[in-house]
């Protein structure tokens, strides 16, 4: 079980190594990969030191699985080269997500689409992953017509530079190195990624397009507003869902209690609801504030929180790898 982690020194790559260790994934040989400037440096995994490899060194080693978290341009340049030597690539970037012949997978939702011929598998956008884990059981039971989602996304989704900006601003009132155009501390920025011609950001359109692909239903209408907020620990989402069929609130609660990968946190009398500080370093998707939309029929409001570096990225990728191994697809 020779495993490469591409982007091993980054935020998500580091989490991938943590998750592999925590879940006792059967790694017999680890190949950490990073940029040329990091080649030869050492990282630690399960108490052992491993030297960082270059891309070509990793390809020459012919790993069974390569977990990619090094950006879209890197994935476009190198993923097919890994696949050509028989490696199964699980890619965390946006490079392959909407490729019509590549699978876009959240194991709790659509792992069944995977086949042994899939050599490049796309890991969805972090905000999409937690959304579809919660939407899927509802769609199966009540048929979703339309979703309106507003996100409250952690600075960790941008990377180390954004975390440093927030902490510098919190400590000194300013940051010498800006990940965002504006201050993020004591602020909210209603832009994630660049704007597209229709006035939506790429992040918003990712949520629209990826949700339909993962859930295998183009009839679902979805609109999104994605927002960066000065927190760490996870992304939050306010979600309004209109169904074809009528529902019972108590049945919704029972449904989530029995949904793998979901933790129901909804006790308003005791002010219990999902928050990033409690989702941090956890692999589940937390759902709460479940209530009927009283402005129109067959419509539900709820609140979803998950750790974007774990379930939103690293854990989902490792879960895909676990499924491939369990089903003997590699």
Alpha carbon separation from 91 to 88, 176, 192, 205, 291 (Å, rounded): 10, 32, 20, 19, 36
In whole angstroms, give the CA distance from residue 216 to residue 212. 6
Mapping DSSP to helix (H, G, I), strand (E, B) and coil, where does residue 314 land?
helix
Annotated catalytic residue 126: yes
| b/e sequence 42-52, b meaning 16+ C-beta within 10 Å | ebebeeeebeb
Q: Which of 126, 139, 174, 280 is catalytic?
A: 126
In whole angstroms, give the CA distance from residue 133 to residue 279. 15
Q: Is the dihedral angle over the CA atoms 261, 258, 292, 211 positive or is it negative?
A: positive
Annotated catalytic residue 280: no
Q: Do residues 253 and 266 touch, judged by C-beta distance below 8 A?
A: yes
Q: Maximum CA pair distance of the chain?
A: 61
Q: Residue 166, class by beta-carbon neighbours within 10 Å (0-12 exposed, 13-18 middle, 19+ buried)? A: buried
* H or E segment and range at residue 198: none
Q: Which of 53, 112, 174, 235 is catalytic?
A: 235
Q: Which two tokens stand for residue 278?
A: 């409690």
Q: Which residues are catalytic?
A: 126, 235
């Amino acid at each position: 079980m020779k495993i490469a982690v591409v982007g091993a020194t980054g935020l998500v790559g580091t989490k991938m190594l943590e998750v592999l260790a925590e879940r006792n994934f059967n790694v017999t040989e680890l190949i950490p990969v990073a940029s040329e400037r990091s080649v030869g440096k050492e990282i630690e995994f399960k108490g052992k030191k491993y030297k960082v490899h270059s891309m070509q060194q990793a390809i020459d080693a012919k790993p069974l699985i390569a977990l990619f978290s090094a950006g879209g341009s890197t994935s476009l340049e190198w993923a097919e080269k890994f696949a050509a030597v028989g490696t199964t690539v699980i890619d965390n970037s946006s490079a392959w997500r909407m490729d019509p012949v590549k699978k876009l997978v959240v194991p709790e939702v659509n792992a069944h689409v995977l086949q042994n011929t899939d050599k490049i598998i796309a890991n969805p956008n972090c905000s999409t992953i937690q959304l579809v884990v919660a939407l899927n059981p509802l769609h199966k039971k009540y048929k979703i017509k339309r979703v309106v989602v507003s996100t409250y996304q952690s600075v960790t989704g941008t990377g180390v530079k954004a975390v440093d900006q927030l902490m510098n601003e919190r400590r000194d009132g300013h940051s010498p190195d800006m990940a965002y155009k504006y201050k993020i501390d004591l602020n909210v920025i209603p832009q994630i990624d660049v704007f597209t011609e229709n006035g939506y950001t790429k992040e918003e359109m990712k949520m629209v397009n990826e949700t339909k692909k993962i859930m295998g239903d183009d009839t679902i209408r979805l609109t999104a507003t994605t927002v960066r907020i000065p927190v760490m620990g996870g992304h939050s989402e306010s979600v309004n869902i209109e169904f074809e069929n009528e529902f019972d609130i108590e049945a919704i609660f029972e449904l989530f209690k029995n949904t793998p990968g979901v933790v129901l946190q909804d006790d308003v009398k005791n002010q219990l609801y999902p928050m990033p500080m409690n989702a941090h370093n956890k692999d589940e998707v937390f759902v709460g504030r479940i209530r009927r939309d009283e402005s129109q029929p067959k419509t539900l409001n709820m609140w979803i929180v998950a750790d974007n570096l774990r379930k939103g990225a690293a854990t989902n990728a490792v879960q895909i790898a676990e499924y491939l191994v369990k089903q003997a697809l590699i």
